[in-house]
């Protein structure tokens, strides 16, 4: 088919004429929607990049005479790298006369490989390269599987956070509904009316305290002669006046007392005596 006929068919079908195999003899062309083809190709490339696993080699450097605590720290990093699906390159650095003791490096690398045996395996055996000794550890699990597991853990954490947020929102809505009910005047079930006949316990305690205080004050204010002691001796006869023959109480009642409303005359104020002049002795 000629190019002109192919272009005419593409225009009639409202499509594009795309050359898919230019190296072929004759070249191969196809009628398609070129914009849709480019969009689908970009989506496929994006998905391929997401699923692609890039091999990353992490490096960890040790010394032959490393401290036990430092060794545990370095081993923790190696465990983390292998758990993420990455390869780990272990380098033992020799200094000075340590180069003549390669067995120290072999022993340390063997110990490390044994400690991380559950997560990785020895991909490259230890070999000395100048002042360094190198060993490569490979992970048992693939990087894609480790990444999928991390994504699943993140999704579980996000779902838990969403559930917690929803529960908190429900509690806030319930609290707001309760507050609006109280404001509108609808008393809750456990509310106590203001005109309740029962008195609280603290009111009864205060009433009892006031009564006891009043009784104590009455006992204090009572005069000493209000209550006379009872004795078996006979009462003494009232004293009588020998001249009139009346008793002392009758005489006191008959004696007129001073008028309580009588005015009292003011006392005169004496003027202070004038100062006498002093004689002045003249000098002779």
Q: Which helix (H) or strand (E) holds 94?
A: none
Q: How far apart are CA 68 and CA 159, in angstroms?
A: 41
Span 131-164, pLDDT tens digits: 999 999 999 887 777 777 888 888 899 999 999 9
Q: What is the pLDDT of residue 194?
A: 47
Kindly report each contact of residues 97-105 with a partner whose C-beta sits within 8 Å and lies 24 or more positions away, as own/partner: 98/64, 98/65, 99/131, 101/64, 102/128, 102/133, 104/64, 104/65, 105/64, 105/133
Span 16-55, pLDDT tens digits: 888 888 888 888 888 888 888 899 999 999 888 877 767 7
Q: Which residues contact 94 (CB under 8 A, 6 or more apart)?
A: 64, 101, 102, 105, 131, 132, 133
Buried b / exposed e along 214-225 (16+ C-beta atoms within 10 A): eeeeeeeeeeee
**pLDDT grade for 217, boundaries at 50, 70 and 90:** very low
Q: Whose CA is closest to 87, among 132, 51, 128, 55? A: 55
Average pLDDT, whole number, for the chain? Answer: 75
Q: How far apart are CA 133 and CA 120, in angstroms?
A: 19
Write out the two tokens for 263: 């005015």
Q: How far apart are CA 166 and CA 158, in angstroms?
A: 12
Q: What is the pLDDT of residue 67?
A: 93
- The fold of the 57-141 domain, in CATH, is Translation Initiation Factor IF3 (3.30.110)
Span 124-138, pLDDT tens digits: 899 988 899 999 999
Q: Whose CA is closest to 59, among 91, 85, 82, 84? A: 91
3-state secondary structure of 113: helix
State the CATH class of domain 1-35.
alpha beta
Domain layout of the chain by residue ranges: 1-35, 57-141
């Amino acid at each position: 088919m000629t190019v002109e006929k192919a272009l005419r068919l593409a225009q009639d079908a409202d499509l594009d004429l795309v050359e898919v195999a230019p190296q072929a003899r004759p070249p191969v062309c196809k009628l398609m929607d070129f914009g849709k083809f480019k969009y689908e190709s970009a989506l496929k490339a994006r998905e391929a990049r997401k699923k692609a696993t890039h091999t990353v080699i992490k490096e960890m450097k040790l010394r032959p005479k490393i401290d036990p605590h430092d060794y545990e720290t370095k081993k923790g990093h190696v465990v983390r790298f292998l758990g993420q699906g990455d390869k780990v390159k272990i380098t033992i650095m020799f200094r000075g006369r340590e180069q003549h003791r390669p067995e120290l490096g072999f022993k340390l690398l063997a110990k490390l490989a044994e400690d991380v045996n559950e997560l990785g395996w020895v991909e490259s055996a230890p070999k000395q390269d100048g002042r360094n000794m190198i060993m490569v550890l490979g992970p048992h699990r693939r990087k894609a599987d480790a990444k999928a597991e991390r994504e699943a853990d993140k999704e579980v954490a996000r779902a838990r956070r969403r559930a917690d947020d929803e529960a908190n929102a429900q509690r806030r809505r319930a609290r707001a509904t309760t507050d609006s009910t109280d404001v509108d005047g609808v008393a809750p079930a456990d509310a106590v009316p203001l005109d309740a006949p029962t008195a609280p316990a603290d009111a009864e305690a205060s009433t009892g305290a006031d009564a006891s205080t009043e009784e104590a004050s009455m006992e204090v204010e009572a005069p000493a002669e209000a209550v006379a002691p009872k004795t078996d001796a006979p009462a003494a006869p009232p004293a009588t006046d020998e001249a009139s023959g009346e008793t002392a109480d009758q005489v006191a009642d008959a004696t007129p007392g001073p008028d309580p409303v009588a005015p009292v005359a003011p006392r005169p104020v004496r003027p202070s005596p004038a100062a006498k002049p002093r004689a002045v002795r003249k000098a002779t």
